[in-house]
Amino acid sequence: MANTLFINGKECEYTDEPNLLEVIRKNGFNVPTFCYRPDLTQFGACRMCVVEIEGRGIQSSCTMPPEPGLRIFTNTERTRRIRKIVLELLLAKHDRECTTCDKSGKCELQQYAEEYGIKNIRFAQKKDNEFLPIDRDNPSIVRDPNKCILCGACVRACSEFQGHSVLGFANRGSKTVVQPIAGKHLSEVDCVYCGQCQAVCPTGALTIKSDVETVWSLVTDKEKKTAVQIAPSVRVALGEEFNLKPGDNVIGKLNAALRKIGFDLIFDTNFAADLTIMEEATEFIERLKSGQNLPLFTSCCPAWVRYLETQHPELLHHLSSCKSPEGMMSPLLKELVPKYFNGFTNENLYVISIMPCTAKKAEIKRSQLTRDGRQETDYVLTTQEIARMIKSAGLNLAEIEPENNDSPFGQYTGAGTIFGASGGVAEAAVRTAYEFVTGDKLENMDFYPLRGVDKNSRTKDATIDIKGTAVKVRVVSTLKEAEKSLREILDGKADFQMLEVMACPGGCINGGGQPRSCDNSKIKEERADGLYKEDTELPYRKSHENPDIQKLYNEFLEKPGSHISHDMLHTHYKNLFEHSYKDLKR
């Protein structure tokens, strides 16, 4: 049922919007905000979204539910004065070295300061001795407390998405800071590097640790060769950085842009996703037969793997031994590219992965993912970083003619592409496992109950009838939801045989390395739609039908689960709770 209220004199309709801010935005108006993030609980702290309501005075629109007949004014003298003072106060305490800030041009504080014309800061500025050290000794995230405006979005993300609360508020009043316990570095605590804190941060206080310059130096070095792999979800998000719509599939344009930048070979992680399904479906079937180590946990998400290693080492045996698709792809490329392409050697080849993910930057440094003393993947660039590289190369992705990637290791199926959305791995696995077990052809391969990336779809269950055997699959996104499923297992109440976990809400399409989307919940849904659309358009939709995959097994890997598969494509896990800062009763 639609009701109406008045915004700046205009009668506006609203339905189920949770707060006035959403109603304001829906009706073509806007108010600034730092702390409101639609997927997080309302906080009401920054006071930028204040509006004046007839008879109710000044209210923060992000916390006020709509009521019929309210008369709201968004730009009164009082609201503008509050916003300007808030900006002036924040800027006085802020490290204002904007030009060298990683968020420059994307910083909301910078944007509003410009829009509100804050030129003169009358309040005492931050003194040299008030600057706090920057936390940058982990592979994924840089935390600069001097740019923090205490909006608490990161604290809420860490708690409400991941249930992990590595970051928290400390101290009180003007001494308040956001930090891990006792000001430790992220590397000293059990941060899983999902990057969601960074994804919701309005300023340069949390940024992605950039590998762009190192990769540029590889690309421009004639002695070195580069091979790139691109994760499924990158293709439906990167376009946003170039004014294309969320969900627009830009894989062809990206292939072309990467070549123009000077990368030597362009492959697709989707191919490795198909490979993962071959291995994981086989592993799943074996576990179903033996009844051991069920439910099987997917292992594609490095944040999830690190979470289990640090929080629940007792459950590590549930994890699939399969490397993530990205993790499978790199050693294959290092091994096979020299065989297929001239001028490439194992020594001169560098593998660079383009990922939606900040945790990947940490994953590639795992000792289990090295070969002959070298990392299997040399560098990970997030979607945001590759966008910056494309821009700095003077290219406009929107106008580039699409190109194909390099073959082999380029062809992929719809099953591979949906890895990018929560539920995709499980759906892809079921499509293949069904046919592996039954030998029958699966006609209806759209498992809708496993799809959905919005707030209400963070735990999804589906039961699949595999010739009389009911197999229950559980899909969760966010570690907070995952923890609930783990509790069920620990309490002996779990009735599912497979658990797919993605740490980021909605899966990789909403990964910590993706273009900014925190002020609009719909963006991740549109990205997911882009992936499911590609799934239906591809010639093959089941991993085992991928001709290149079949060829790879025939020529090199023999069969899923073979000795060589295990050597190249599988991994093992470590108890990382031991000797951690939480391991106190040694």
Partner 1 sequence: MGTNTININIQEEQKRAEESIKAQGLRVLVCNGTGCIANGSNDVIAKFKELGADVSILTQHDKVTIVPTGCHGFCEQGVLVIIPDLNITYVKVKPEDVEEIVDSHIRQGKPVERLLYTSPKTGEKVYRNEDIEFYARQSRTTLKNCGEINAECIDEAIAKHAYEALAKVLQENNPEAVIQEIEKSGLRGRGGGGFPTGRKWRFTAANRGGKSYVVCNGDEGDPGAFMDRSVMEGDPHKLLEGMAIAGFAIGSDEAYIYVRAEYPLAIKRLRIAIKQAEERGFLGKNIMGTDFNFEIHIKEGAGAFVCGEETALMASIEGERGMPRPKPPFPANKGLFGRPTLINNVETLANVPDIIRKGADWFSSFGTETSKGTKTFALTGEVNNTGLIEVPMGTTLREIIFDIGGGIRNGKKFKAAQIGGPSGGCLTEEHLDLPMDYDSLIKAGAMVGSGGLVVMNEDTCIVEVARFFMHFTQSESCGKCVPCREGTKNMLKILEKIVRGQGEMKDLDTLEELAYAVKEGSLCGLGKTAPNPVLSTLKYFRDEYVAHIKEKRCPAGVCTALKVIKIDESLCKGCTKCARTCPVGAISGTVKNPHKIDQSKCIKCGACVAACPFKAIKQA
Partner 2 sequence: MPALTRDHSDWVKVDSIIDSYEAKKSNLIAILQKVQEEFRYLPEDILTYIGTKIEGLSPATVYGVATFYAQFSLEPKGKYIIKCCDGTACHVRGSMPVYTSLKQRFGLEDGTFTSKDGLFTLETVSCLGACGLAPVVVINDKVYPQMTTDAMKIIIDTILDEEHSA
Stretch that binds partner 1, among 83-91, 329-337, 434-442, 444-452 (CB under 8 A): 83-91
Side-by-side strand order, sheet with 225-230: 265-268, 225-230, 349-355, 379-382
Minimum gap (Å) between residue 301 Cβ and partner 2: 20
Cis? peptide before 408, omega within 30° of 0: yes
Q: Are strands 57-60 and 177-179 parallel, antiparallel or unpaired?
A: unpaired
Alpha-carbon span 195 to 135, nearest angstrom: 14
Least Cβ distance, residue 361 to partner 1 (angstroms): 32
Both tokens assigned to 547: 């001709």
Which of these segments, 116-124, 269-277, 296-304, 325-333, binds partner 1 (CB under 8 A)? 116-124
Quote the least distance from Cβ 131 to partner 1, whole Å.
17
Q: What's the closest the beta carbon of residue 562 comes to partner 1, in angstroms?
A: 53
Instruction: Select from partner 2, partner 1, none the partner in contact with residue 520, using the beta carbon and a kind-dependent cut-off of 5 to 8 Å.
Output: none
Q: How far apart are CA 280 and CA 560, in angstroms?
A: 9
x-marked contacts with partner 1 along 173-202 as a string, rule CB under 8 A: xxxx--------------------------
DSSP, collapsed to helix, strand or coil, labels residue 113 as: helix
Instruction: Give 171 or 456: the residue with its C-beta nearer to partner 2.
Output: 171
DSSP assignment of 434-460 equals HHHHH-SPPS----GGG---SGGGSEE
DSSP-derived 3-state class of residue 287: helix
Q: What is the largest CA-CA distance in the chain?
A: 76
C-alpha 451/C-alpha 529 separation (Å) is 10
Nearer to partner 2 among residue 172 and residue 493 (C-beta) = 172
Identity of the residue, 178 or 337, whose beta carbon is nearer to partner 2 in the bound complex: 178
> Minimum CB separation from partner 1 for residue 315, in Å?
28
Helices (H) and strands (E) in the chain, counts: 18, 19
Whether residue 289 contacts residue 310, with contact meaning beta carbons closer than 8 Å, is answered with no
Q: Is 89 in the site for partner 1 (CB under 8 A)?
A: yes
Q: How far is the CB of 115 from partner 1 (least distance, A)?
A: 17
- Based on the shown chain and the rule CB under 8 A, indicate whether residue 169 belongs to the binding site for partner 1: yes
Considering the complex, state which of residue 90 and residue 236 has its C-beta at the smaller distance from partner 1: 90
- For residues 117-136, which are near partner 1 according to CB under 8 A? 122-124
Query: Residue 186: CB partners within 8 Å, gap ≥ 6?
Result: 135, 138, 141, 143, 166, 180, 193
- For residues 71 and 53, the answer to whether their CB atoms sit within 8 Å is yes
* Residue among 82, 336, 442, 538 that touches partner 1 (CB under 8 A): 82
Nearer to partner 2, 448 or 581 (CB): 581
Q: How far is the CB of 179 from partner 2 (least distance, A)?
A: 7
* Residues of the shown chain interacting with partner 2 in the complex, contacts defined by CB under 8 A: 159, 164-172, 179-182, 189, 581-582, 584-586
What interhelical angle do 383-392 and 251-261 show, nearest 10? 50
Query: Is 572 a residue that touches partner 1 (CB under 8 A)?
Result: no
42 binds, among partner 1, partner 2, none (CB under 5 to 8 A by kind): partner 1
Query: What span, in angstroms and rounded, lies between the C-alpha atoms of 441 and 419?
Result: 22
Phi–psi pair at 53, nearest 5 degrees: -115, 130
540-560 burial code (b ≥16 CB/10 A, e <16) = bbbbbbbebbeebbeeebeeb
Please tell me whether residue 585 binds partner 1 under the rule CB under 8 A. no
Those residues with Cβ within 8 angstroms of residue 234's Cβ, 6 or more apart along the chain or in another chain: 254, 354, 355, 356, 383, 386, 514
Least separation in angstroms between residue 111's CB and partner 1 is 16
Residue number, 147 or 431, with CB nearest to partner 1: 147
**Residue 448 interacting partner from partner 2, partner 1, none (CB closer than 5 to 8 Å by kind):** none
Task: With both helix axes pointing from N to C terminus, report the angle between 383-392 and 212-220 in degrees, rounded to the nearest 10.
Answer: 50
The reply to whether 450 sits near partner 1 by the rule CB under 8 A is no
Smallest distance from the beta carbon of 560 to partner 2, in angstroms? 39
Residue 75 identity (one-letter amino acid): N
Q: Residue 68, interface with partner 1 (CB under 8 A)?
A: no
In angstroms, give the least distance from the CB of 333 to partner 1: 49
* Residue among 18 and 402 whose Cβ is closer to partner 1: 18
Query: Applying CB under 8 A, which of residues 171, 243, 342, 444 lies at the interface with partner 1?
Result: 171
| Closest among 365, 335, 326, 343 to 140, alpha carbons compared | 365
Of 101 and 166, nearer to partner 2 (C-beta) is 166
Residue 123 contact partner, candidates partner 1, partner 2, none, CB within 5 to 8 A by sort of partner: partner 1
Is residue 76 part of the contact set for partner 1 (CB under 8 A)?
no
Site for partner 1 in 23-62 (CB under 8 A): 42-47, 50, 57-60
493/586 with CB nearer partner 2: 586
Residue 452, phi-psi category: left (phi > 0), alpha (psi -120 to 50), beta (remainder): left
Name which position in 72, 90, 141, 201 contacts partner 1 (CB under 8 A).
Answer: 90
Strand, coil or helix: 231: coil
Which residues of the shown chain bind partner 1 in the complex (CB under 8 A)?
42-47, 50, 57-60, 63-65, 78, 81-82, 85-86, 89-90, 92-93, 122-124, 149-150, 152, 169, 171-176
